[in-house]
Structure formats: structure tokens, C-alpha cells
Amino acid sequence: MDQDPHCTAERELLEAVRGITTFSITAPPDEEKNQPKAEISCEVSKENPEKDHLQDSSASLSPNSSMTTKELQEYWRNEKSQCRQVKLLFEIPSTRIVEHHLSKYVVYKIIILQTGSFDGNKSVIERRYSDFEKLHRSLLEDFSEEMEDVTFPKKAVTGNFTVEIINERKLAFKDYLRLLYSMKYIRRSKKFIDFLTKPELQEAYGCLRGGQYNKALEILLEVIGLQERLTRGNPVLIVPTLCAIVVCHKDLGNSASAFEYGEKALSYLSVRNSHRYYIPLLEAMITLAYELGKDFLSLQEKLEEWKAKKDPVRVFSLKELAVREYVK
């Protein structure tokens, strides 16, 4: 008897996905009853909670025979996207010399590209020698072993502003960033991520506090793409930026855009309702949903559910919370 082609395709997909699950990490036999098995992982990392604080997000549920062909195909696509590491390239195409009062320094223009993006997802930032130097000293404190063979371009006694020295440093800093990014624990570290994003975020939040919502929004929208690529394993880290974007759109009267970014932030907090942004975001989303004629009752239920479980405490509004970010 001929086999049903749909059943055959379903079985083939199921077998292919099961093949991946053979790489899952499981607890030792004597601990299996007390510890849940780890989900599918794209790479086995050494246990180091201090350095590897940015854990990869959990894999989706394992496939089962009740899945339809379409569901299995979607599962397979999700697994492949989780295993595909986002790789970034660093280019330093130009520099400029800045003279400010009695100081003089070189600013390096850094372009960060996602491989295969055809420049569609590039980010452009500027950093000076002292910024690189500060990063290097800071990383040595936490990653002395990993940084053992990493060389840092030293300042010359003279000629720091000659074309030859500047061009040498352009190449050196490009290789330096590439090498740092190649090391998993460093590229996931807060210090490395802050080096690439914090100055712009500080400027954006300064604009937000000053009521310059258009300028703040412009900077935040540029930074969020880079943040997403740098923190792909732990998207909760970008929730404050997403919420700042919500605040800007809301104050500019762009309710639909504010709701869109709010939904994204809320999805990242679905299992983190103890997060400081959860309730302020939920309250803002209820207001936005009501304005837009969307379903706000389900959001209201979540809010009431949270209030029933927690002791009453003062909660800042989303805007009050956002303006407190990066306050020195």
C-alpha cells in the first residue's frame, strides 16, 4: 500500500528534529529525578555564573508526534534561527582630530555590521583612545585569563597625531574589537556591551529628561538594533531601552508605535513579572490599548493578578522610571 505523502513528510521532519535533540544536555542518572533536563543548546558552555551571566534563551518545546507538518516546519525554523549565531564585523574607516580648549584627541569612527546584512543593519559610533583604554583596563579585572594574549596599542611619546600612527591604531583597534568579540564571555559581558552602547544611551536619556523626545527617539532607535544583536541570548536587557522608546512615542502622540514597542517589551517580561519595569509598562499599555480601541481587559487582568500576589508598594510610572536611567 502507498504511504500518505503528508505522513511521510511529517515523519521525516520529526526524525530530523529528533536528531538535533540528541545533543541535549541531560542530568546524571542519579540526579535525573531531582533536576529537569536542559533544553536544546547550540553549544555546551563551561559553568561560570559570574562571566556567563547572559545566558542563551531557552529553546522551544520538544517536538512530538501530535504536531502537524506545518507545526514541525515552524519548530525546525525556530531551532535553526536559535542556533545561528549573529556575527558582527567591526570596521574603522575614518578618524577625526578634536581640539577642545587645552585638550586634543583622536576620535575613531566605528561601523558595526551584521554579516550578510548588506549594510541594512549597520551601527555607527565614535570612540576615542581613552575609551578603548578604559575598556581594556576594565576587562582585565574580570577576564585576566582570556585577555592574557590580547595586546593593546600603547601611546607613543611623540607623534600621536601623525597620519602614520593614526592609521596604525585604526587597524589595531579593528583587530582588537574583532578579537574581543570572538571570545564568548567577553562579548556577552556588560562592560563590552556598555562600551558599544552606553555613551549613546546616556545622550538619549539626557534628551528624554530635557523633553527633547524627537532627538531622544532618533538616538534610541539607532541603538536598539545594536543592543538586540549584542544581547540576543538575554533580550530582557533591552527592556529599559524599549520602554524609553515607548515613552518618547507616547509623548509625541504616536500611540500606535508606542504600543508596538510596548508589546515587544512586555513579551520579554512574560516570565519576569518581578522586573522593575513590568508594572509601569503594564499600566502604560492598558492606557494605550484603551486609546487605540484594543483589548485592554486581558492586560488589566494581569495587573490585578500581580497586585493580588504582591504587597502594595509605590510603583513609578513608566516615564518616571525611564528618566531615572543613567542619572549620575
Q: Which residues contact 316 (CB under 8 A, 6 or more apart)?
A: 280, 324
The CATH superfamily of 194-324 is: Tetratricopeptide repeat domain (1.25.40.10)
Q: What is the pLDDT of residue 71?
A: 59
Give the separation between CA 97 and CA 80, rounded to whole angstroms. 45
Report the interhelical angle of 239-251 vs 278-292 (nearest 10°): 40
Task: Supply the pTM of this predicted model.
Answer: 0.73
Q: What's residue 159's pLDDT?
A: 79
Amino acid 4: pLDDT:
52
CATH superfamily of 87-188: Phox-like domain (3.30.1520.10)
- The CA-atom distances, in angstroms, between 95 and each of 128, 150, 226 are 9, 23, 21
Mean pLDDT per 10-residue section of the chain, whose length is 328 residues: 49 46 39 38 39 39 55 57 69 94 92 77 93 97 93 84 93 96 94 97 97 98 94 92 98 97 95 90 96 95 86 82 90
**Residue 113: helix, strand or coil by DSSP?**
strand
| Intra-chain end-to-end CA distance of the chain, in Å | 75
What pLDDT score does 57 carry? 38
**Which residues, in sequence order, are bridge partners of residue 91?**
111
For residue 118, the model assigns a pLDDT of: 63
Q: What is the pLDDT of residue 14?
A: 44
φ, ψ at 234 (rounded to 5°): -145, 75
Q: Where in the chain is the domain with CATH 3.30.1520.10?
A: 87-188
In the chain, which segments carry CATH 1.25.40.10?
194-324
pLDDT of residue 72: 63
